[in-house]
Structure 1
Amino acid sequence: MKTNTANKILDYLTKQGPIKANDIIQYLQISPQATFKQLKNLYSKNLITKSGTPPKVFYQIAKTKLKPPNINLPKKIDETYLIISPEGELLEGTQGFGYFCNKNNLNINKTADEYLNTLKKYDKFKNNGLIDGMSKLKKTFKNIYLDEIYYLDFYSIERFGKTKLGNLVLYAKQSQNKALIYKIYQLIKEKISNLIKEKHIDAIAFIPPTIPRKIQFQKELEKLLTLKIPKFNIVKILNQIPIAQKTLNKLEDRIENVETTIFIDDKKSYKNILLIDDAVGSGATLNETAKKIREKNLVKANLIGLALVGSFKGFDIINEI
């Protein structure tokens, strides 16, 4: 039951749009404590939303949330579908798929069949949860320095856009969101563990980032995985102007970028080394890093690359990550 004060707040927000708490306090002419109590109650009931962090927090009327469709969709959709709305709401499974169909005026049953058929096309490339990327690499580079390269999933698929893992990697990096990084960790930990066992990996290296961030995606992932094998040290040297790989459209520029910014800071050799990157577009970063390791004779057997997500086509650029 809404109090008279709560109704006044809702009416005021409806008329005035997004406003700060101080504006509401002045309008109601009551104490800040009483105002925040009312705001907290309305927020807990999903009647209002708030954006920002103190002291810049704006309150507004909550948009009508899309209810999950009253329909039974195949379990595969619950397992694989995820979308993030323009306002930043993470919607999974049936709820997310219903949102996608509703927003695009699509028949949900027909679209579900089309989505599952599209997944079947891409699932053909997977073997034990891994996508072999060597054929893509061979089409792109004259010299290959990796013995094997895998993705855990494609970054995006036709018509339906980014995959579940693709969405999570993109927004985890962009928002520096630890909760999303943890969600990724839960999805990938078993696959990485199995790959390490199967390929007898005895050292692991994470490709370092180019752009400085308070929360670095690869560092957080490395901490969560807590792998019980030695870490092989690779460093990224930032020049006067840091240039991210995603901003370079030519393959030769991407190769040059790696040649002049990534260096091997390790002297110990290992039998099998696993290089992990968040995403593979062209494959230049992993391939050129492998070249530098080989030039120092620090691998005795196999150099294996692993990307969380990769592109479907040959030379391709994932500009968003």
Structure 2
Amino acid sequence: MSDFTHNFWSIFIGAVTLISIIACLVLLWVSGKVKVKNATADNSTGHVWDEDLREMNNPLPRWWVGLFILTIVFALVYLFLYPGLGKHAGSLGWTQKGEYEAEMAKGAQQVAPLYAKFSGMSVPDAAKEPQAITVGEKLFLNNCAQCHGSDARGSKGFPNLTDSDWLWGGTPDAIKTTITQGRTGAMPPMAAALGGADDVKNVAQYVLSLSGSPHDSLRAQLGKAKFGVCAACHGQDGKGNPLLGAPNLTDDVWLHGWGENAIMAMINNGKTNQMPAQGAGHGGKLTAEQIHLLTAYVWSRGGGQGQ
């Protein structure tokens, strides 16, 4: 791919563009100079269609030629002012990025009074304001619904934001941190640490027993002794650790699927989940004021802690 960033391609594109414009001028000039030989007395070319439809040997209309020349002049002026000739940036220095940033700045200025109205409120207080929730919902639909669904109930691999199960904590501050900075949860492959395939199956049965799911009680009892390897993250009681993003294994909420096979796949293969950062200072595009209202909306969906 490095070949396509070489300076040659910039020159090539600029040259092709200019040659094409010049070729249009040449074509216009030639078409105006060339005369049909052996034209008939009635000033036709001698070509006849449908018995009486004759092609006349008239020059191009002046108004048409004038418009054609104007389009060429416009093209040259445009290429001088704006980017279009390879790496030539244009005399105005216009860029799509600059246009986007200017539009975003204009939009931010227009809505600044609205965000200022709620920025001084706590998240629980903002969650009580219908206007704040309306703005938060729009932010959610534009930035979060692609993964968590328009109803915020998530899907396999994407957390449900309306229940009480929170990998990293469901307090307003925890939710705001998650949205702003993003999260990366990693479950390493643990089969080797547990022992053999039989040990993996036993631990899977024990994990099922923690949530009251149907399980093999004998295998679960055998897996309990091996669960100590998992307790470093999930806790000895299996209730997880929000500081590590380790899920609670006792609440019957299964982010990546329920059942022995799903749990064994997690133990054998591990899993890495990432919530991308949305904060403008962390690679995202949302301002602190927007994240404040987005947090209020997510927290208000019913699963936020402290309600």
Higher helix share: 2
TM-score by length of 1: 0.23
TM-score by length of 2: 0.24
Q: Which has the higher contact order (CA 8 A, sep 6+)?
A: 2
